[in-house]
Structure 1
Amino acid sequence: MRNVLIVALGLAAAATPLRAEMPPKPARLGLCAACHGEHGMAQIPGAPNLAGQRLDYLREALRQYRDGRRNVALMKAAIGPISDEELDQLARWYSAQTPVAPGP
């Protein structure tokens, strides 16, 4: 019985994904969080959830909004002038968040 318990605990530990350390909360998060939520779960209808999105996707999407290649006036205004470092911090933050299923 003891061996079964040890094996079960070992399998459970192996199945638990290792999570990297959470990046620091970006200083520019406030305006993004108004629509997308602080942890990436949308706060308003029509805003996409960003939690758990691929880092490279978020980084490129933010660049496109900033540079005008994605012509969405609301996002262009929300992002405003943002440095590559700030953009990267936002992308890292939202990609590191865990998506949460909506409640009933």
Structure 2
Amino acid sequence: MRTVLIAALGLICALPALATDMPQKPVRLGLCAACHGETGMAQIPGAPNLAGQRLDYLRKALQDYRDGSRNVPLMRAAIGPVSDADLDQLARWYSAQTPQPQAAAQP
């Protein structure tokens, strides 16, 4: 019983440290989540999953969409005049998400 209590106490003490690893939910997440899902798993066909992508890749891709280097009008319109800080927050959020297996398509 003592071992179980010690293990439980250890887990309780570790929870705050684990919680700080997840970045704060971005304020601008709503529009992104409409297509890419709040946890980075696509909500519509053709939208890529962003969960677990590399932080530097996501950050650069978002900057390129915003600045027009990647010519995807839908993404440019969705991002609009987003600050570098907001882009960084979005990239950190999606890179910290864990990819989930997708359900098999129904025949």
- TM-score w.r.t. length of structure 1: 0.80
1:78 aligns with 2:78: yes
CA distance in structure 2 between the aligned counterparts of 1:38 and 1:78, rounded to whole angstroms: 15
CA distance in structure 2 between the aligned counterparts of 1:78 and 1:100, rounded to whole angstroms: 25
CA distance in structure 2 between the aligned counterparts of 1:40 and 1:99, rounded to whole angstroms: 7
Structure 1 residue ranges (4+ consecutive) displaced by more than 6 angstroms after TM superposition = none
Post-superposition offset of 1:19: 8.9
CA RMSD of superposed structures (Å): 1.4
Give 2:58's aligned amino acid. Answer: L
Instruction: Write out per-residue CA displacement over residues 2-54 of structure 1, whole angstroms, 9 at most, x where no aligned residue.
Output: xxxxxxxxxxxxxxxx8971000000000000000000000000000000000
1:36 aligns with 2:31: no
Match of 1:26 in 2: 26
- The secondary structure found in structure 1 opposite 2:61 is helix
CA distance in structure 2 between the aligned counterparts of 1:79 and 1:67, rounded to whole angstroms: 10
CA distance in structure 2 between the aligned counterparts of 1:24 and 1:89, rounded to whole angstroms: 8
Identity %: 77
1:64 aligns with 2:83: no
- The secondary structure found in structure 2 opposite 1:62 is helix
Higher helix share: 2
Give 1:97's aligned amino acid. Answer: Q
CA distance in structure 1 between the aligned counterparts of 2:100 and 2:36, rounded to whole angstroms: 13
CA distance in structure 1 between the aligned counterparts of 2:103 and 2:48, rounded to whole angstroms: 17
Instruction: Write out per-residue CA displacement over residues 62-93 of structure 1, whole angstroms, 9 at most, x where no aligned residue.
Output: 00000000000000000000000000000000
